[in-house]
Amino acid sequence: MAKKTIDQTEVQGKTVLMRVDFNVPLDEQNAITDDRRIRMALPSIRSVIDRGGKLILMSHLGRPTGGEGDEKFSLSPAATRLGELLGSTVHFASDTVGDDAKAKAAALGAGEVLVLENLRFNAGEKKGDAEFAGKLAAMADVYCNDAFGTCHRKDASMVAVPEAMAGKPRVVGHLVAKEIAYLSDAISTPARPFVAILGGAKVSDKINVINNLLGICDSILIGGAMAYTFSLAQGGKVGNSLVEKDKVDLAKELLAKSDGKLHLPSDTHCGDDFGNIAGCNKAVVKAGEIPDGMEGLDIGPETAKTYSDIIKSAKTVVWNGPMGVFEKPPMDAGTKAVAQAVADSDATSIIGGGDSAAAVEQLGFAEQVSHVSTGGGASLAMLEGQAFAAVDLLDEA
């Protein structure tokens, strides 16, 4: 699945249209509260401008309604922040394919950068509209995809634009190349034992992932609230725990076909007041023995040790979803123990975006794992074994 990269592409004197993920959080004053996504795009951006290319950046931000402009979703703050990080002027177009964008794109000089306004201000983006895509494609000589977080989508900027640029170089940026190397290539030929750690709230969110990984992994460690649906499927008592009663039969089917690969918690840390975890009554009980009036909020210490021991012997680890309510101590203990085990292991360790990425960052282990994915939904889709049209149509290495 290796794709040609922006570094392998001649860009001097050419205009590169790069899809980035500048979907950064903004406060009420439209100030960026976390610029990590902009900083992570810098290697691909510098690869173009340092080699004399002209760079047009396009991204979405938030979910503006009806394909209409909305100042609170403007990419202007992202353009400003990018200029600060680069230490140079970054031009900003007030539209995507209108007069301002066309004029500023045509006026770009070597080593200069233009950020287009939010793609989702045009209804054609979410619709994958070919006409909208054609107008974007007409601005450039090279297409580069560096937005892994949207690689599982069929938005115009992800699929229709590179389709419209057939015959021109269509390549990946540093971020997408790295994601492919880990999430696709490493999983397709994993060093063994291969262990998957799956948490989160709902079995329904991870059905396809579990089904796919059962045929690939040696062990799947289940945590988070979805463990209680599995517990219910085994006839256990779950108290007030978050469960999907309509997925109990599905959980039974997954257990039946797992051939012992699915590992469920043997004990549970529970409490009687989710709104006041620090001050509520808490207890550690055997799995399937959660009292009425209490709910499971984390894996227990026995489970944490068992899971840690399995992780220590692993050669490849994929983790998607925390083990409990990691934002609220002491219910972060299970997630912390698992994160520590992953960090201490010799395995190639891949953290699949979303809450698990946030947990690893928050707990201080991000530098001790092999790869933290930039796309929660995209990483899940790749773990499910989905094909990505946005990647498949790019040039092979």
**Catalytic hit among 199, 223, 334, 354:** 354
Instruction: Check residue 154 and report its DSSP letter.
Output: -
Measured N-to-C along each axis, helices 226-233 and 203-214 cross at an angle, to the nearest 10 degrees, of 80
CA 265, CA 232: separation in Å to the nearest integer?
Answer: 13
- On whether 192 is known to bind a ligand per the annotation, the reply is no
Q: Is 86 helix (H, G, I), strand (E, B) or coil?
A: helix
**Catalytic hit among 3, 14, 19, 37:** 37
- On whether 19 is known to bind a ligand per the annotation, the reply is no
Instruction: Check residue 249 and report its DSSP letter.
Output: H
Residue 202: active-site member: yes
- On whether 194 is known to bind a ligand per the annotation, the reply is no
* Neighbouring residues of 100: CB distance < 8 A, sequence distance ≥ 6: 93, 94
Residue 67: active-site member: no
Residue 37: active-site member: yes
**Catalytic hit among 98, 134, 377, 385:** 377
- On whether 355 is known to bind a ligand per the annotation, the reply is yes
- On whether 206 is known to bind a ligand per the annotation, the reply is yes
- On whether 60 is known to bind a ligand per the annotation, the reply is yes
- On whether 63 is known to bind a ligand per the annotation, the reply is yes
CA 216, CA 287: separation in Å to the nearest integer?
Answer: 27
Say if strands 295-299 and 371-372 run parallel, antiparallel, or are unpaired. unpaired
- On whether 353 is known to bind a ligand per the annotation, the reply is yes
- On whether 215 is known to bind a ligand per the annotation, the reply is no
- On whether 39 is known to bind a ligand per the annotation, the reply is no
CA distances from 99 to 104, 162, 325 (A): 9, 22, 49
Q: Would you say 286 and 319 are in contact if contact means Cβ atoms under 8 Å apart?
A: no
CA distances from 359 to 91, 351, 371 (A): 35, 10, 14
Instruction: Check residue 347 and report its DSSP letter.
Output: S
Q: Per the structure block, which two tokens stand in for 159? A: 């699929």
Residue 19: active-site member: no
- On whether 153 is known to bind a ligand per the annotation, the reply is yes
**Burial class of residue 110 (count of CB atoms within 10 Å of its CB; 0-12, 13-18, 19+):** middle
Q: Per the structure block, which two tokens stand in for 301? A: 């210490």
- On whether 274 is known to bind a ligand per the annotation, the reply is no
- On whether 354 is known to bind a ligand per the annotation, the reply is yes
DSSP per position, 288-336: TEEPTT-EEEEE-HHHHHHHHHHHHT-SEEEEES-SS-TTSTTTTHHHH
Q: Per the structure block, which two tokens stand in for 230? A: 């599995």
- On whether 61 is known to bind a ligand per the annotation, the reply is yes
CA 302, CA 281: separation in Å to the nearest integer?
Answer: 20
CA 290, CA 225: separation in Å to the nearest integer?
Answer: 13
- On whether 21 is known to bind a ligand per the annotation, the reply is yes
**Catalytic hit among 102, 154, 202, 328:** 202
- Residue-wise burial string across 237-265, b where 16 or more C-beta atoms lie within 10 A, e elsewhere: bbbbbbbbeebbebbeebeeeeeebbbbb
Q: Per the structure block, which two tokens stand in for 340? A: 């520590």
Binding residues: 21-23, 37, 60-63, 120, 153, 206, 296, 327, 353-356
Could you list the active site residues?
37, 202, 354, 377
Residues at the binding site for ATP are: 206, 296, 327, 353-356
Report the binding-site residues for (2R)-3-phosphoglycerate: 37, 120, 153
Q: Which residues are annotated as a binding site for substrate?
A: 21-23, 37, 60-63, 120, 153
